């Protein structure tokens, strides 16, 4: 049985969907004011693996991931660039989709944008006002009354008294309490805005997800996911808004991906260790990056470093070298690798444990190839299929191992010419030249492999 760690209950429990055989999942997406960074990639890949696995196990999954396309950061960046917020967000959304395609991240079933749900947001705010959980302030903003909601803080174990004592409110603020948060923001001159019963304005960040998830998945749904920075206050505020308005539990299972660190330090622009997905993909094969992100359990922090990416490359090389040694067969092998792989993934999507099973499968495949066993083709197909559930091993081995020609490196044509020159040298028993060609290629990251069928090669690292 599938077990998932629930951030709300703080334990790993058997997963039971609201509707048998069906899962409704909402994941907080990107605020599209800049290119996506490696932390965004962590969340994208984590929930993509979860999506692929749930579907591989036969669940009917509806996956929703929103886009925040109106926000203070968006307005500020658009003004700095001298462009409209709409132009900026359209450009960043397109770039986000390009990054996802390269990382083999599947598009969600629904990708609602905040600006397309203004009517839903207004209706939700109005409901909260009518129920006494929100109020229109003198400055044109609408705020949520945090202290009226009895369950506030239950996701992150926050104590309302401690929150109150640690908060302060400026004299000019129109809040009733320093804990209250904004649902609707009065527009400043020149800002993008929509008409509302409380004057022109735009939605606060937290209300967007409550409105979009309700619209797409209903008042209560199975799984809500997001990044490590979202449990407080964003998800606490979503719970408060949705449960106060709808009168039912908002989400049954809460899931959060862990943070990305860079050489064991927190990633930040001020430290100069901030990397966009595009920065990373300029240096590393996209599948190497995906493997790296999937190689650590989704809830744990992951340390981005040159060594970590090299280890990911080496691991994939081992998989692809095994796959390149034999043709895949259609028949299923008689072994327990699949059952053990599924058992690992059923344990809160434990990808490190699942990958360990695949490494054992590689060893078995290599043994079958050495022995000339008919099982080799079956094992290769099994490895490719199980790897595909994590979004890996779907390239041709030749394409991955040889890679694309890159500036400053030997081209495939040059390498093949040197291999032919080495073959001639060996035929002439000029082993010194043969060895020199091999060593020279190795020094440039090109590894040769001799077998009965001839010489093959791949790029290392």
The reported pLDDT for the residue numbered 389 is 98
Pairing of strands 251-256, 201-203: unpaired
**Model confidence pLDDT, tens digit, residues 63-109:** 999 999 999 999 999 999 999 999 999 999 999 999 999 999 999 99
Rounded Cα–Cα distance for residues 459 and 288 (Å): 13
Give residues with Cβ within 8 angstroms of 278, minimum separation 6.
35, 95, 99
Cα–Cα distance list, 294 to 28, 64, 290, 416 (Å): 19, 21, 6, 34
Count the Cβ atoms, other than its own, within 10 Å of residue 457: 18
**Model confidence pLDDT, tens digit, residues 219-264:** 999 999 999 999 999 999 999 999 999 999 999 999 999 999 998 8
Per DSSP, the residues of 124-167 read: HHHHHHHTTSEEE-TTS-EEE-GGG-TTTTTTTT--HHHHHHT-
CATH number of this structure's domain 3-257: 3.40.50.620
Rounded Cα–Cα distance for residues 237 and 180 (Å): 10
Rounded Cα–Cα distance for residues 41 and 352 (Å): 18
Answer whether 3-257 and 261-401 agree in fold: no
Residue 287, marked binder: no
Rounded Cα–Cα distance for residues 22 and 16 (Å): 10
Residue 328, marked binder: no
The pLDDT profile of the chain, 461 residues, written as one tens digit per residue, is 999 999 999 999 999 999 999 999 999 999 999 999 999 999 999 999 999 999 999 999 999 999 999 999 999 999 999 999 999 999 999 999 999 999 999 999 999 999 999 999 999 999 999 999 999 999 999 999 999 999 999 999 999 988 887 776 564 578 999 999 999 999 999 999 999 999 999 999 999 999 999 999 999 999 999 999 999 999 999 999 999 999 999 999 999 999 999 988 888 777 778 899 999 999 899 999 999 999 999 999 999 999 999 999 999 999 999 999 999 999 899 999 999 999 999 999 999 999 999 999 999 999 999 999 999 999 999 999 999 999 999 999 999 998 765 546 777 778 878 888 898 888 888 888 888 888 888 888 788 878 766 787 777 75
Closest by alpha carbon to 426, among 447, 402, 455, 446? 455
Cβ pair 285, 403 in contact under 8 A: yes
When the pLDDT of each residue in the chain is averaged and rounded to a whole number, the result is 93
pTM summary value = 0.90
In 3-state terms, what secondary structure has residue 182?
A: strand
Residue 216, marked binder: no
Residue 234, marked binder: yes
User: Residue 287 is inside which H or E element, if any?
Assistant: helix 286-294
Please state which architecture CATH assigns to domain 261-401. Up-down Bundle (1.20)
Residue 449, marked binder: no
Domain ranges of the chain: 3-257, 261-401, 404-459
Q: Which two tokens stand for residue 190?
A: 């020149």
């Amino acid at each position: 049985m599938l077990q998932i760690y629930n951030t709300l209950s703080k334990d790993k429990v058997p997963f039971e969907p609201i509707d048998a055989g069906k899962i409704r999942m909402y994941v907080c997406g990107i605020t599209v004011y800049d290119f996506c960074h490696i932390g965004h990639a962590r969340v994208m890949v984590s929930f993509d693996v979860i999506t692929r696995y749930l579907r591989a196990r036969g669940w009917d999954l509806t996956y929703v991931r929103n886009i925040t396309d109106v926000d203070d950061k968006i307005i500020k960046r658009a003004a700095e660039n001298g462009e409209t917020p709409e132009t900026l967000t359209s450009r960043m959304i397109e770039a986000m989709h390009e990054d996802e395609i390269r990382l083999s991240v599947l598009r969600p079933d629904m990708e609602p944008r905040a600006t397309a749900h203004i009517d839903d947001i207004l209706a939700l705010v109005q409901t909260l006002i009518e129920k006494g959980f929100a109020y229109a302030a003198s400055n044109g903003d609408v705020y949520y009354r945090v202290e009226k909601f009895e369950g506030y803080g239950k996701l992150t174990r926050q104590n309302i008294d401690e929150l109150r004592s640690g908060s302060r409110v400026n004299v000019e603020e129109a809040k009733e309490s320093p804990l209250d948060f904004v649902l609707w923001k009065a527009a400043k001159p020149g800002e993008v805005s929509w008409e509302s019963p409380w004057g022109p304005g735009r939605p606060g960040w937290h209300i967007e997800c409550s409105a979009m998830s309700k619209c797409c998945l209903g008042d209560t749904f199975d799984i809500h996911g997001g990044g490590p920075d979202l449990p407080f206050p964003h998800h606490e505020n979503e719970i408060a808004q949705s449960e106060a308005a709808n009168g039912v539990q908002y989400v049954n299972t809460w899931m959060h991906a862990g943070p990305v660190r860079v050489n064991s330090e927190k990633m930040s622009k001020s430290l100069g260790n901030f990397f966009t997905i595009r920065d990373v993909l300029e240096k590393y094969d996209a599948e190497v990056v995906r493997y790296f992100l999937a190689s650590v359990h989704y809830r744990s922090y992951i340390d981005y470093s040159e060594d970590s990416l090299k280890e990911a490359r080496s691991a994939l090389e081992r998989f692809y070298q095994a796959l390149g040694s034999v043709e895949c067969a259609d028949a299923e092998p008689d072994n327990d690798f699949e059952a053990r792989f599924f058992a690992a993934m059923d344990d809160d999507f434990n990808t490190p444990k699942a990958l360990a099973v695949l490494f054992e499968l590689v060893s078995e495949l290599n043994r079958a190839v050495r022995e000339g066993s008919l099982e080799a083709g079956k094992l290769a197909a099994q490895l490719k299929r199980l790897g595909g559930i994590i979004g890996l091993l779907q390239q041709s081995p030749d394409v991955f191992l040889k890679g694309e020609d890159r500036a400053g490196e030997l081209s495939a044509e040059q390498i093949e010419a040197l291999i032919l020159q080495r073959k001639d040298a060996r035929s002439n028993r000029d082993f010194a030249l043969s060895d020199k060609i091999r060593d020279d290629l190795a020094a440039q990251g090109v590894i040769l492999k001799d077998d009965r069928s001839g010489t093959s090669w791949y790029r290392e690292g």
